[in-house]
Structure 1
Amino acid sequence: MDERRVIVHPPSPGGGRRVRVDGEVLGLAHSLVDVAEFLRRAGLEGVEAADVARLSLIEWRGGDADEWGEGGAAGPVG
């Protein structure tokens, strides 16, 4: 897997978290599934939603992988 700098920003007031890879905003994630999809689109193959919270290449800002703000959730991940 590529070692890229991935930042998941704090939850926004309306819910969701901005995801940035190598300085480029990929979108607003509302779950770990969304983060995994953004990483896949950025070329990080083999990332599953169940693994996202444990990846050392992700910097979680303003809360851990369980915090999504209004209307967001960590799951489903199975």
Structure 2
Amino acid sequence: MDAMQMVIPVVGIVAAAAITFYAVSFSELREKSFQDLEDYDESENAGGSYKFSASSREKRARRKAAQDGKPRR
């Protein structure tokens, strides 16, 4: 039996396994993303208000206030 007769089917099987693995992984990620989105819509936005994160200016002010409160060495 020639070596190429063995290599080609093995490469085909490995390629099919890799494609299947990626297809299943991406479909699971997509389902999880949609589930997370639905959970977010139900829990976070239930009251109709959107909670904004602190702006960089506010974060800087908090860090500076925390530093000013610490004793200097």
Q: TM-score, normalised by structure 2?
A: 0.17
Question: If you compute each CA radius of gyration, which structure gives the higher value, 1 or 2?
Answer: 2
**Structure ranking higher in strand proportion:** 1
**Structure ranking higher in helix proportion:** 2
- Of structures 1 and 2, the one with the larger relative CO (CA 8 A, separation 6+) is 1
